[in-house]
Amino acid sequence: MQARIPKSAALAALIALLAPALAQAHDEAPGLPTVTTALSPLPKSPIPDVTSLKTIKPAKAVDEEAFREKDVWGRIRSGYAIPDVNNELVAKHANWYATRPDYIARTTARASLYLFHVVSELEKRGMPTELALLPFIESAFNPNALSSANAAGMWQFVPGTGRDFNLKQDAFKDERRGILASTDAALTYLQRLYDMFGDWQLALAAYNWGEGSVQKAIKRNQAAGKPTDFESLADLMPAETRNYVPKLQAVKNIVANPQQFGLSLPAIDNKPYFTAVDKTSDIDLTVAAHLAELSVDEFKALNPQFKRPVITGDEQTKILLPKENAEKFHLNLAQWTKELSTWTTHKITSARESIGTLASRFHTSPEVIRQANNIPQKTVLKAGSTILVPKISTSANLDIAPDVANTATVEYEAERANSGKSANGYKHAKVSLVKAHVPRDAAKSKSHRKSNH
């Protein structure tokens, strides 16, 4: 039996479910600073039908049969193509999920926003549709998930692997969290691993453990005259990788027949949930949410890649909105008469530029500057840092240059505890907003060592 979630309540329910996870995200800012321009109520007017918006459409190559399904779960079931695993580990994980219906409810509610897009992309590429369930294992479909190895997003990319697949990570956004970019990168990576090994189970093991590690295990079994399929290599794998494919199989079994496990899945409409909207200039995150008539938390659920209170970047930067809110966004934007962005950047050229003096210069408070730039209390900025500051009249019409957004870093050091200490008494810390490269194999072998159970 399937319980249908009313459309009008879906996003609100998801935000309530995400709230604890958002609070636990390791690198989230304490909160968005108050913008200097107040957001006045939007004029109320009828929302006309808008047919010109570009929605995220399924692939042309997708069999039309897929769209006759009433919900997305049916499309996933009809595209299963990875050989089944049937062992004690599968039974163990299926039992774990079956005895935790609340966990299933939270995860599937999050998934309801993203699954249509993921399944459509898999069908377009001719890939097995059960791969759409992989974020269930990786992140419980939480795009703000962050592992102890700094693997981020729904698909859990570490920084180096993310850059290998063109996921931008700069001062203003982290595309490892972005729904469109990370899904494209993950499916490209999985397809490449399948092409390398010719076996989806080994491709999944490599996604978790690293392709180099899987290749070494294959060579070791070949040298010993042993088979090289997933189950034959399992004893050579770390525990997490050994459990990885069985976990996915357990979820696959539950989706195939939830009633058998005493569970129900929320019906997910077989149509796009969100629309991609072009961003033509810098816009405050709070203003974008206001124009779309969404709360900031609702906006961030579809746009978790944006790390700062202003959305900047090149002309290709897009924001995702529920279809009805995209219509409201365009209508309200056409009537907006205030600034879209209240932020700009400032480069620290001297250690004499304290946060207090900067706050005075830019007509704000030290707390606002610290929040906007994730600067801890009791620290001072070092020369060379590029930080966000509120716009003043001389910079009111200027967007933040892409090269600034791509290269900005913040460096700070602890305040001197005793005025008599020398400069050597400082504790130095550098926060680079452009992460150091992590070798793919080493990174992936560490990124999934923590169970998502």
- Which residues are catalytically annotated? 138
Rounded CA separation 268/299 (Å): 20
Cα(293)–Cα(288) distance, integer angstroms: 9
Q: Which two tokens stand for residue 128?
A: 């097995």
Number of residues in the chain:
453
Complete edge-to-edge strand list for the sheet that includes strand 379-381: 379-381, 410-414, 428-431
What CA–CA distances, in Å, run from 224 to 211, 212, 227? 20, 19, 9
If we measure between CA atoms, which residue out of 298, 360, 343 comes closest to residue 325?
298
